[in-house]
Amino acid sequence: MKLYHGSTYIVEKPSLEILNYKTDFGKGFYTTTDIEQAKRWAIIKKKRLAENNNIKGYINIYEYIENQDLKILDFIGATEEWLDFVYENRKSNGLLHNYDVIKGPVADDNLFATLKLYEKNYASKEETIKALKTYKLINQISFHTEKALSCIKYLGTEEVI
């Protein structure tokens, strides 16, 4: 399976060392099967560093061969289980699970605003799930262990203009 990672770096060898903890599935290396999503992330990351005009955006491309020995969690859509998992990981300061790989929808900025309503008790879990299902849900596949990272092979990088 071909995977993409949007970044301001060429990432030939993904690492778990310098990653953000407060993400959907916890500290990990995040990819997607949607090249347009990777491109959007590269552009977003580039804009965050806009004061440095020398920053470029990149789509790093990988081949993923799933290993049966990996512990994989696969969320099919925006479910209550997914919502609880994302909510807990985003408010945590550490890894809240022992999965090697997690697959599921991305809680992007639009989705995150909906999650904030849930977090502040302005929306019930059922209302939140219903609202989330109105968004086009893009997938993400995150790698959380060295064992998982060993299953992806770097294929190349494309610069985002």
Helix (H) or strand (E) segment spanning residue 6: strand 2-7
The dihedrals phi and psi of 82, each to the nearest 5 degrees, come to -60, -45
Bridge-based pairing state of the strands 101-105 and 2-7: unpaired
Long-range contacts at 15-20 (CB < 8 A, ≥ 24 apart): 15/149, 16/143, 16/144, 16/145, 16/146, 16/149
Q: For 9-31, what is each residue's pLDDT tens digit? A: 999 999 887 666 667 788 899 99
Are residues 83 and 128 in contact, defined by beta-carbon separation less than 8 angstroms?
yes
Which pTM value belongs to this model?
A: 0.84
135: its two tokens = 């968004």
Instruction: State the total domains in the chain.
Output: 1
Residue 151 is part of a domain; what is its CATH number?
Answer: 3.90.228
Residue type, 73: L
- Residue numbers of the domain that contains 57: 2-160
Are residues 69 and 85 in contact, defined by beta-carbon separation less than 8 angstroms?
no
Print pLDDT tens along the chain (161 aa): 999 999 999 999 998 876 666 677 888 999 999 999 999 989 988 888 766 667 889 999 999 998 989 999 999 888 889 888 887 887 776 667 899 999 998 866 666 677 778 778 888 888 877 777 666 678 999 999 999 999 999 999 999 97
